Amino acid sequence: MDDHLHDGHDDAPGDLPDEPLEPSLLAAAREYHRPPEPPREAMWRAIQAERRAERAIRPGPRRWVPWAAAAAALLAVGVGIGRLTQPDPVTDHAPVASWGPSAAAPRVNEAAYRLTTLEHLGQSEAFLTLFRASVRTGGQERLASATARQLLATNRLLLDSPAATDRKTRVLLEDLELVLAEIAQLAADAQPDDRALIREAMDRGGMLSRLRTEVPAGTTLTRGEL
């Protein structure tokens, strides 16, 4: 509270005359910042969303754990990407010089791409949920930025893949790239407003709900482990 409340001189030395304001003044005072009808449902939805995010991270003394888990889980995505781009042993043994167009065309394993994309989207959803929950407290910008950079790299690989033919997934990955890029640029001494702006951008684009719609429950490695 401010100084005017803690100043010892404000303590009443004795009985103060407790004269109410004149009725006309009191009536005018009661118009001061008269509140509108409270948006009860909207506020309740926001509270519940925040509570769900909080339950996901289960705050404790080792608050770095969820972040580290999310970052570590990225390795799994990396492995997936690696497998996706791994040269096929058959083509490895094929003659180096080949004039046929089929030799130059990349092999596209759509099922593997789809699985890897889902895994990436699941990791991103887990990460953004953690980030969103940490907006109010802050203090983990460096780790958030590093994790966002790793996710961004994976995101770009997926976007550049010849298997990225599904328009809906492409749009989602492109929008996700913008959010991840903003978090990746977050400075270690970021102000609460910086984090809040990113959160607002996420909310405006419905990023988390779109990710949750796209990713089947139980897809991500971190889900349920944090």
Partner 1 sequence: MDDRELIGRVLAGDPRAERELYEAHVDRVFRLSCRISGDPHRAQDYTQETFIRAFRRLADFRGESALSTWLCAITVSVTLNGLRSQRRARDREVGLDEAPALGTRTVEADPDLKTRMTAAIDGLPQGYRTVFVMHDVEGYTHEEIATALGVQPGTSKAQLFRARAKLRTALADFARD
Closest to partner 1 by CB, 103 or 196: 196
Q: Specify the residue for token string 């102000």.
A: 191
Question: Residue 24 Cβ, how far from partner 1 at the closest point, in Å?
Answer: 7
Question: Residue 175 Cβ, how far from partner 1 at the closest point, in Å?
Answer: 25
Question: Residue 172 Cβ, how far from partner 1 at the closest point, in Å?
Answer: 28
Closest to partner 1 by CB, 2 or 189: 2
Q: Quick one: which of 53, 59, 60, 32 has its CA closest to 131?
A: 53
Q: Quick one: which of 88, 218, 190 has its CA closest to 131?
A: 190
Closest to partner 1 by CB, 39 or 216: 39
Distance from C-alpha of 197 to C-alpha of 71, rounded to nearest angstrom: 23
Closest to partner 1 by CB, 119 or 141: 141
Helix axes 110-134, 207-214, angle to 10 degrees: 140
Closest to partner 1 by CB, 53 or 207: 53
Closest to partner 1 by CB, 1 or 217: 1
Distance from C-alpha of 89 to C-alpha of 215, rounded to nearest angstrom: 32
DSSP 3-state of 126: helix
Question: Residue 218 Cβ, how far from partner 1 at the closest point, in Å?
Answer: 22
Contacts of 29 (CB under 8 A, 6+ apart): 21
Question: Residue 64 Cβ, how far from partner 1 at the closest point, in Å?
Answer: 20
Closest to partner 1 by CB, 56 or 115: 56
Q: Specify the residue for token string 């995101």.
A: 155
Question: Residue 54 Cβ, how far from partner 1 at the closest point, in Å?
Answer: 7
Distance from C-alpha of 155 to C-alpha of 120, rounded to nearest angstrom: 8
By CB atoms closer than 10 A (0-12, 13-18, 19+), residue 122 is: buried
Q: Which residues would be at the binding site for partner 1 (CB under 8 A)? A: 1-6, 10-12, 16-22, 24-26, 28-33, 35-36, 38-40, 42-44, 46-47, 50-51, 54, 136, 192
Entry field: residues in the chain: 226
Question: Residue 138 Cβ, how far from partner 1 at the closest point, in Å?
Answer: 12
**Two tokens, residue 37:** 């009808």
